[in-house]
Amino acid sequence: MKKIAVFTSGGDAPGMNACVRAVVRTTLRHDHQAVGIRRGYQGMIEGDFWAMEAHSVSNIIQLGGTILRSARSQDFRTPEGRAKAYANLRANDIDGIVAIGGDGSFTGARIFMEEYPDIHMVGCPGTIDNDLYGTDYTIGYDTAINTAMNAIDNIKDTANAHDRLFFVEVMGRDAGFIAMNVGLATGAEAVLVPESKTDVNNLIDTLNSNYSNKKNSSIVVVAEGDESGGAFKLAEEVKKHCPYETKVTILGHLQRGGRPTCMDRVRSSRMGVAAVNALLEGKSGVMIGEINGEIVHTPFEQAIKYHNEINPMLLEMVDILS
């Protein structure tokens, strides 16, 4: 192996920079060359390559976002696009790649590797949603739950001051991990996640019963992917049957950025080291994960196909503790 390249793809996640840093420095430590590909698959097609040194990744471990940037690539969905990408990689003597991203990034990788099996690819799970099979935690997830929690802590100050009911929508199109953990951490009255069916009448009963018991304020946390249709729609429905003054907040993109937490920095670094090690051992087509504290390799197709499940004890806890 002469050169190992690294790129970030899909939605940015805090810890991606820590992972890039680990990939670059581990590569250099093994006396290989490190190349950064800017803007994911699109940059691969356009040949947007960066010969990286140890100092190229100095002082980035604490930064949110990704210094390699990210982009959607329509071109990579075409055989012509992928052929161009392959030609660029060959021309640059790159035969190993670390892809930091989520579902979409690994789907792209699978197709590419079938066509060009001489390019070895290993993935690192970079997404705040924690929705990848093959790892207990994805890069950025721990930061995102703290960011969302801090925002809801703020909202609780106002909810308490004004006897209000707040519906707060957090990220999570397919997975309720953020909603569930943030809901528990902020003492939310209810948490609505895609993984379990919401009984709106039940929710209304709970809220009405709280109101009669002089519980003057409440937070309901809703995952954006919940089948109730999101916080606005749900609030409309509840408002009709509930005496509370209701408000809605969509946390939105502020959940994505920010300085990574300690766990995100350490895990991302560890996964970056492990990804290079996997390439050097001749592995390809696998995603690096951390399960029960150990590094695990999961084939891309499984990482994409299966899903982690929310611990049912957490669902019960919302009910017991609120």
Tell me: does residue 262 bind a copy of itself (CB under 8 A): yes
Q: CB-wise, 119 or 220, nearer to a copy of itself? A: 220
Position among 103, 129, 131, 142 found at the interface with a copy of itself (CB under 8 A)? 142
Q: CB-wise, 33 or 146, nearer to a copy of itself? A: 146
Q: Which of residues 21-50 bind a copy of itself (CB under 8 A)?
A: 21-22, 25-26, 29, 39
Position among 187, 204, 211, 237 found at the interface with a copy of itself (CB under 8 A)? 187
Q: How far apart are the first and last CA of the chain?
A: 55
Residue 121: φ, ψ to 5°:
-130, 135
In Å, how far are 1, 87, 151, 247 from 251, measured between CA atoms?
44, 42, 8, 13
CA angle 282, 283, 288 (to 5 degrees): 140
Q: In the annotation, is 129 catalytic?
A: yes
Position among 33, 66, 130, 198 found at the interface with a copy of itself (CB under 8 A)? 66
CB atoms within 10 A of CB 78: 12
Q: How far is the CB of 249 from a copy of itself (least distance, A)?
A: 4
Q: CB-wise, 124 or 182, nearer to a copy of itself? A: 182
Tell me: does residue 135 bind a copy of itself (CB under 8 A): no
Judge whether 5 and 96 are in contact, CB under 8 Å: yes
- 189 marked among binding-site residues: yes
Residue among 14, 98, 27, 21 at smallest CA distance from 57? 21
Annotated catalytic residue within 129, 142, 226, 264: 129
H helix or E strand, kind and range, residue 239: helix 231-239
Q: Which residues are catalytic?
A: 129
As annotated, the binding site for Mg(2+) includes 103
